[in-house]
Amino acid sequence: MRTRITLAIITGLVAPLAAQSAPATPVKAATATVATATAPAAPDVASGYTYHPEGRRDPFVSLMHRAPDVQLGSAGARAPGLAGLGVSEVTLKGTMQARDGYIAMVLGSDSRTYIVRPGDRLQDGTIRAITRDSLVIAQQVNDSPSSQKQREVRKMLRQTEEAK
């Protein structure tokens, strides 16, 4: 009985080791073949090929939520400051009580902080209202299939469990 158990243990230990060492050479050869096959797939600098989009849309930009300058296909310069930022590029960082209502601090995609009031304009929208814990923006929608020309975007100061 001990002999059988000993043989089973030895067979159990030796068989995986033999299986691991046997295919080592073919795997290396296959890897070398794959490596040589993929090497010419690198950009062909010798032939001088470059990509020119020439008015074609970027295939990685969402068709549903594009910025107006991307929709029009123009690569024009943006306005400086807050007027050059889109609704999706600002994050509400804080609100403050002022004499005439609330004002908000927003962080733009340019890593700058802006103080905004109701009526201030963004690239694709206007700040409609500021409350104690949110910022309401009326965003212009430039989507031809949609009958809706404006939508309301609400930026919350703190995420609630429902919004996550």
Residue 90, both tokens: 């600002």
Assess if residue 54 is contained within a domain.
no
Report the 3 state secondary structure along 5-55: HHHHHHHHHHHHHHHHHCCHHHHHHHHHHHHHHHHHHCCCCCCCCCCCCCC
Residue 89 near residue 81 (C-beta atoms within 8 A): no
Assess if residue 52 is contained within a domain.
no
* Number of compact structural domains in the chain: 2
Domain range for 136: 68-156
Kindly state whether residues 35 and 109 are assigned to the same domain: no
Residue 58, both tokens: 């970027």
Q: What is the pLDDT of residue 101?
A: 93
Report the 3 state secondary structure along 108-121: CCCCCEEEECCCCE
* Contacts (Cβ under 8 Å, ≥6 apart) of 103: 95, 96, 115, 116, 117, 130
Q: Tell if the pTM clears 0.85, that is, is over it.
A: no
Q: What is the pLDDT of residue 38?
A: 47
Q: Give 10-residue mean pLDDT values along the chain (164 residues).
A: 76 63 50 47 62 76 61 61 91 93 93 94 94 93 76 86 58
Assess if residue 62 is contained within a domain.
no
